[in-house]
Structures are given as structure tokens and as C-alpha cells.
A and B are shown apart, each in its own frame.
Chain A
Amino acid sequence: MKFQRSILILAVAAALSSLGIYAASAQDADAPPRQTWSFHGPFGTYDPAQLQRGFKIYREVCSTCHSIKLLSFRNLAEPGGPGFTDAQASAIAATFQVTAGPNDEGQMFQRPGQISDYFPPPFANDQAARAALGGKLPPDMSVLAKARSYEAGFPYFVFDAFTMYQEDGPDYIHAILNGYENPPAGFVVPPGGQYNKYFPGGAIGMPKPLSDGQVEYTDGTPTTVDQYGRDVAAFLMWTAEPTLNARHRLGSKTLKMASREATHLRELAVRPAPLEIGIENCSSQTHSVRLVIRQRAANDPF
């Protein structure tokens, strides 16, 4: 008994110490404040107006340095997105110059974009980007909202599974855009860097990209960095996960159908087994189960 107890104490102590240490572990960046997103939760969908505003910010600000190579102009007009019409998407495409070719003379040439084209990158290649931006390489933004996260820590990551928290990427992007501050006393910002309290390590290469009033909104939405950050993060979540609306819709249908099926099966499963076992008894039970299944099939479209 003593032996058991000592093992138990040892194991519990080990488990507790491992959990407790988390609190002491150093955090090198502030946790991004969580925002309210229209696409959160089982019935969440993108807000087309917000995606259009976010697209405007990407186009006027981010696209100067950041590519979005996996996004095509046709995506802008696809369901579950910013809700542009085909004509609008074509018109947007035509405002971009894309490299095409080679032509009959073997030369590459520039032409206005078409709806089937992908967004042209701001720089021809990574080296060109580095050369123009003092050695810094801005990441491609196509799946950026799923490629960024932060450590929620022990109890929270368990809660996050139940609250369906999948917006760590957008929260992080919003936070970064709002995290430019004067560095705390004693923090040495390396040359060419900026202090950002949400960036791991504290020093980010990107200069503060957005200021209040910088991008004009025509729908009366406040033109603050806070709002810009939310809108562009929502847009980037859509470019990273363009099928989210369809996924949530199919999820409800699937779960509804699966629970109905499970309820039916449960009724069959809890039926007590006959205590007298014989060939006759067993096969009659089989028969009745089959009958029940057949009746269900007749009454129910599933």
C-alpha cells in the first residue's frame, strides 16, 4: 500500500509540476487580443462588405510589398467570398499588368490582367524584393492567416477546442497592425527594425503600414487602424480558407444526419440480448432488427 501511494504521489507531483511550469515560462511577445469575427463558430460566414474593404486595403497598401500568388481574380467573384460580380472581377483584373508569353517572337510581354489570371506579384522574385526593401523579404499573403498563430498555453488550448477558436491567425494579424509602439525602456531596436509588442522577439522588419484615415471607406465604416486591421485580417482569412462558408454549411448538415443515424443505432444497440441462446432465437432477433432497419428506411429519407 505504501509502495502504491508513493508511486501515486510521484506521478501526481510530476504531472502538476509540468503543468505549473507553464506559468513561469517567459513570454517574449504579448498575446494578441481576441477580436469578434463574423466567420467564427459553427454558423459563421464571411461578411462580403468586410472582405471588400479588406481587399481595398490589400490593394492600396499591402500589395506594394506582399504578393498573394495563390489568389486569382476569378476567386473574387466566387460564392462565399467578397461577392464581386464577374464583370467587377474582370474590371479589377484589367487594372493590373501581368506578364504573359512568350509570343511568336519568343518575347515575354505585358498585358492587362484577365479574370482567369492570378494576382501578379509586386517583385519579379525574392532577390528583387530583398534588393528593393533593404534585405527584407515580405511573406506571401495567400495562406498567411493560417500560417500565423501564438501559444495560447495550457488550459486555454483545451477550451479553444470547445469554443471552436480557429481565429488565432486573424487575431495575430490584427494585433501586429495595432502593435506599433515606442519600445519599452532598455529595449534596443536593431537597425532597420521597428518595435511591435505582438511580434515574437519585439522587433519587426515591416514599418508601420497603416495610419488612421489612410484608406478611404465609402460605406461609413470608421477609418481607424483598429478597423483596418480587422478588415484586412478577415480578407486574408478568406484568401487562406476560401471554402469556409461551404464547410460550415456542410458541417451542420452532416452533424444533423449523423446524430439522427446514431440515435437510430442506439435504439438497436441497447436492446437486451436474449438470455436463452439458440439458433431460432438468434435468427429471429436478427430478423426483427432487419425489419426495424427496413421500416426506418421507409419512413426516413436518410
Chain B
Amino acid sequence: MSGHSTYQPQSPFMQWLERRLPIASFVYSSFIAYPTPRNLNYWWTFGGILTFMLGVQIVTGVVLAMHYTPNVDLAFNSVEGIMRDVNYGWLLRYIHANGASFFFLAVYIHIARGMYYGSYKEPREVLWILGVILFLLMVATGFMGYVLPWGQMSFWAATVITNLFSAFPGVGDPIVTWLWGGFAVGNPTLNRFYSLHYLLPFVIAGVVVLHLWALHVVGQNNPTGVDTKTEKDTVAFTPYATIKDAFFTGLFCILFAYFIFYIPNYLGHSDNYIPANPGQTPTHIVPEWYYLPFYAILRAIPNKLIGVCALGLAIVSLAFLPWLDTSRVRSANYRPMFRQCLFIFFIAVIGLGYLGSQEPTGGYVIAARILTIYYFGFIWVILPILGLVETTKPLPNSISESVLGKSAPASASGA
């Protein structure tokens, strides 16, 4: 870490502390003097936004937990009690429920940015894999949180998702019984989901620390994908990155607030305001929007076992990107073919999301199959081949050259 300046403790107390626990110089070198590429655009602010959202979810979640009762007979009404009788309980709950959606929105943009600018490539493989682990943890946490209000969708989502494990021959049914803590989704299931929903965010926080550690070892990628070479290529994290992160977090919060205050139930499903009823299946069981692409992949495949494996593979595949992408150029700005294929990949994921929300019949299934084939085809076939056959555009010699526009490459990022 070649900082622009080093921390010199001034006061006797800080000097005393520095010799025993150099926490002040650690913060200084990591969040103040830390060199960031000077050409970072606003797509780089989503890491900060995600950290902010994790904090929001933990703070609101801890307060909600003070008022929530994890019992099948009381859970639904305790959530309604929060909405009605807890001071600003409606605000806490709507922040937390919509917060999950916005957490996922931010993480999808963050992942897309990583893919577009090739942030997973050498030397950032571990950083990227930690990110995939974080995403998996988020998926698990979000799912268990959705079960807690114990509405119809909570109950039936828990039933459908846990039942996926029954696809595995032999061990499937014992696993499902073990997950449920019984022979159906019931009170033990709700209790353990509540326990894990409270635990996992702190596991996420721990992995975030590793993610940031790995980031600070290898340094940030940038829109050109060219490594930083001299100090001219970088600026100090504070004030440049902090102000930029704060500004975009502000914009993100405005959108977030719009949902919380004006359309708090837009992203939810009305059936979840019906108390859970094991005797009555909803006409149409759908997960939250952020799982829909994966749900579509699951249903696109007629065999349940293969479908479940494809669902898992859809996320796990991402961890292999550093080795599947054979190109040595990082940024899609200099890879015209990759750029097109990647945008189609993004469209395919959004298309899968829409198909996941619809009944799996007729043309929807066919469309979902085409998009599923593209999803895996892009990762496992197109990426390895593309790196070998693609003609890339000339890279700038350095970040500062690209900023000054000497050779005027396509640095006005199209993303």
C-alpha cells in the first residue's frame, strides 16, 4: 500500500496508543490516504452503498427483533403489532423489507460492474470469490427473512424452497426433515430460520471484512482495466472517493425513500398479508423479485434434480469466471465482442426474471429454456472462446493518459 501520506500521531495519547494498537494509522491508511484510481466512475460507488445497506438492515433488524415473536401462532400478528403499535414500527419494517430489495438491487449492479470491467481477473480472484460467497449468504439470509412474517407466501416459499433438497436421491428426504425440524414446515422451522436470519448478517459482515482486506491488498480495478502504475494514476480515498460514495449513496437513498414512503408494498406480494395456512396453497407461488431469474432457471428444466443443480450452478458458475474468461484485457470498453455478449447476458438475466414471475406454461417455458441456455452458454462456452478469438482495442498506456484523453480511446464508458 503506497499511501500518499502516512499517519503521524500528534497528541501524546495517540502516540501512546499507536505503539500499542495502531488502529488510527490503520484507518488512516485504509480510508483516508488509500490510493484509488483517479478514473473511477459512479458504478464504483455500489461497494460503499452495499456496506451502508448492510448497516441499515442490521440496525433496523435488531430493533424489529425486539418486537417480533417467532411462533407460528403469534408471528403474523406480532408483525402487524409492529406496524400498528410500535413507535415508527411501520417505518422500521418498511425500511427493512424494502431494504432487502435495495440491498439486492445494489449487489446486482455491483456484480454487473465487476463483470463489465473484468474486476474478477488476476490478481482479484479471491476478492471475486469472496463476493460470490457474500451473494450466496445474502440469498440465504433474504430467503429466511421472507419467511418470518409467516404469511401465505412466507409459508409456501419455505415449503417450496426447502423441498428442493428432496430432489437428491437417498439423502434428500432426510435433509428436508432435518431442515424443517419435523415432517412439515412448522414452528421448529420458523424458530431456526429466525435464529439463522439473525446470525447470518454478522457472518456477512465478517466476510465483508475479508472482501475489503483482499481489495486493499490488490487495489481497485478501474474503467480502463489498466493497472495503476504511478502516483499520478491515483487520488486519495478521502476526500475523492468518500465524497463521491456519499453523493451516490444519497441518490440511492432518495430512490429507496420513494419506495419506503410512497410504494412500500409495490415489491411485495399481497398474499403475504394473509396469515399462513398450511391447508390452502396460493394459486401462484412466486419468490421475491431478486430470486426470479434463478427460479426461472429451476423451472425451465423438466427434471427436478437437474433443475436444482442448475439453480445452484447458476450462482456457483460465477466463482469460476476468473478462469473461464481467457482474455487478458479486463475492461469491456476494449473488448467489443465481449461487450455485446455481456449486454445480451444482462438482458437474458432480466428476461429470466420476468419469466420467473409468470406461470410456467407454453411459450414462457420455451423462452426460459432459451435464456437459460444462453446464461450457461455465455459463462461456460462464449467466455473461454471469446478470449482466444477476439480482437481487442488498443489499451491506454496508463490511467492518467486515459483521463487526459491523449489517444482518446472509448473511455467514455458505455455502461
Q: Footprint of B on A, CB under 8 Å?
A: 4, 7-8, 10-11, 14-15, 17-22, 24-25, 41-42, 70, 75, 139, 142-143, 146-149, 154, 160-161, 164-166, 168-169, 200, 240, 242-243, 246-248, 250-251, 254-255, 258-259, 261-262, 265-266, 268-269, 273, 275, 277-279, 282-283, 285-286, 289
Given the interface contacts A265-B246, A277-B231, does A282 sit within 8 Å of B257 by beta carbon? Answer: no
12 contacts between A and B (CB under 8 A): A7-B374, A14-B374, A15-B367, A18-B364, A18-B371, A42-B262, A146-B273, A147-B270, A161-B263, A246-B90, A266-B247, A279-B5
Given the interface contacts A142-B80, A251-B261, A254-B261, does A7 sit within 8 Å of B239 by beta carbon? Answer: no
Instruction: Please name all residues of chain B whose beta carbon is closer than 8 Å to the beta carbon of A266 when the two chains form the complex.
Output: 247
Instruction: Please name all residues of chain A whose beta carbon is closer than 8 Å to the beta carbon of B283 when the two chains form the complex.
Output: 200
- Contact indicator A247/B91 (Cβ below 8 Å): yes
Min distance, Cβ B56 to any Cβ of chain A, angstroms:
14
Bound state CA distance, A286 and B257, in angstroms?
Answer: 30
- Contact indicator A70/B77 (Cβ below 8 Å): yes
- Contact indicator A247/B90 (Cβ below 8 Å): yes
Given the interface contacts A161-B263, A250-B91, A254-B257, does A143 sit within 8 Å of B250 by beta carbon? Answer: no
Bound state CA distance, A278 and B5, in angstroms?
Answer: 9
Interface: B38 (CB within 8 A): yes
Instruction: Please name all residues of chain A whose beta carbon is closer than 8 Å to the beta carbon of B4 when the two chains form the complex.
Output: 277-279, 282
- Contact indicator A265/B243 (Cβ below 8 Å): yes
Interface: B358 (CB within 8 A): yes
Min distance, Cβ B24 to any Cβ of chain A, angstroms:
16
Bound state CA distance, A255 and B261, in angstroms?
Answer: 9
Bound state CA distance, A279 and B235, in angstroms?
Answer: 10
Instruction: Please name all residues of chain B whose beta carbon is closer than 8 Å to the beta carbon of A21 when the two chains form the complex.
Output: 358, 362-364, 367
Instruction: Please name all residues of chain A whose beta carbon is closer than 8 Å to the beta carbon of B219 when the two chains form the complex.
Output: none
Instruction: Please name all residues of chain B whose beta carbon is closer than 8 Å to the beta carbon of A154 when the two chains form the complex.
Output: 354
Whose C-beta in chain A lies nearest to the C-beta of B253? A258
Given the interface contacts A70-B84, A251-B262, A265-B250, does A282 sit within 8 Å of B367 by beta carbon? Answer: no
Bound state CA distance, A17 and B365, in angstroms?
Answer: 11
Bound state CA distance, A143 and B152, in angstroms?
Answer: 13
Min distance, Cβ A170 to any Cβ of chain B, angstroms:
12
- Contact indicator A11/B243 (Cβ below 8 Å): no
Min distance, Cβ B67 to any Cβ of chain A, angstroms:
15
- Contact indicator A18/B261 (Cβ below 8 Å): no
What is the interface size of chain B, counting residues whose CB is below 8 A from a CB of the partner?
62
Min distance, Cβ A168 to any Cβ of chain B, angstroms:
7
Would you list which residues of chain B between 345 and 381 have a CB under 8 Å from chain A? 347-348, 351, 354-355, 358-359, 362-364, 366-368, 370-371, 374
- Contact indicator A11/B344 (Cβ below 8 Å): yes
* A-B CB pair tally, cutoff 8 Å: 159
Min distance, Cβ A198 to any Cβ of chain B, angstroms:
15
Bound state CA distance, A146 and B272, in angstroms?
Answer: 9
Whose C-beta in chain A lies nearest to the C-beta of B350? A15
Bound state CA distance, A187 and B352, in angstroms?
Answer: 36
Interface: B48 (CB within 8 A): no
Name B251's contact: one of A18, A139, A262, A278 (CB within 8 Å): A262
Given the interface contacts A7-B341, A282-B5, does A261 sit within 8 Å of B250 by beta carbon? Answer: yes
Bound state CA distance, A164 and B262, in angstroms?
Answer: 6
Instruction: Please name all residues of chain A whose beta carbon is closer than 8 Å to the beta carbon of B362 when the two chains form the complex.
Output: 21
Min distance, Cβ A230 to any Cβ of chain B, angstroms:
19
Instruction: Please name all residues of chain A whose beta carbon is closer than 8 Å to the beta carbon of B358 when the two chains form the complex.
Output: 18, 21-22, 25
Min distance, Cβ B240 to any Cβ of chain A, angstroms:
6
Interface: B195 (CB within 8 A): no
- Contact indicator B344/A273 (Cβ below 8 Å): no
**Which residue among B243, B244, B283, B340 has the maximum number of chain A CB atoms within 10 Å of its CB?**
B243
Interface: B234 (CB within 8 A): yes
Whose C-beta in chain A lies nearest to the C-beta of B38? A273
- Contact indicator A4/B348 (Cβ below 8 Å): no
- Contact indicator B363/A70 (Cβ below 8 Å): no
Instruction: Please name all residues of chain A whose beta carbon is closer than 8 Å to the beta carbon of B250 when the two chains form the complex.
Output: 258, 261-262, 265
- Contact indicator A247/B261 (Cβ below 8 Å): yes
Interface: B387 (CB within 8 A): no
Given the interface contacts A4-B337, A240-B273, does A10 sit within 8 Å of B374 by beta carbon? Answer: yes
Min distance, Cβ B245 to any Cβ of chain A, angstroms:
9
Name B266's contact: one of A42, A166, A259, A261 (CB within 8 Å): A166
Given pairs A8-B340, A70-B84, 15 additional interface contacts (CB within 8 A):
A7-B344, A11-B348, A14-B371, A15-B351, A17-B367, A18-B351, A21-B367, A147-B271, A160-B263, A243-B84, A265-B243, A266-B247, A275-B232, A282-B235, A289-B243
Interface: B265 (CB within 8 A): yes
Bound state CA distance, A70 and B264, in angstroms?
Answer: 20
**Which residue among B5, B240, B257, B261 has the maximum number of chain A CB atoms within 10 Å of its CB?**
B261
Instruction: Please name all residues of chain B whose beta carbon is closer than 8 Å to the beta carbon of A41 when the two chains form the complex.
Output: 262
Bound state CA distance, A20 and B273, in angstroms?
Answer: 31
Interface: B254 (CB within 8 A): yes
- Contact indicator B266/A161 (Cβ below 8 Å): yes
Min distance, Cβ A33 to any Cβ of chain B, angstroms:
18
Would you list which residues of chain B between 282 and 337 have a CB under 8 Å from chain A? 283, 337
Bound state CA distance, A254 and B231, in angstroms?
Answer: 41
Interface: B236 (CB within 8 A): yes
Instruction: Please name all residues of chain A whose beta carbon is closer than 8 Å to the beta carbon of B244 when the two chains form the complex.
Output: 269
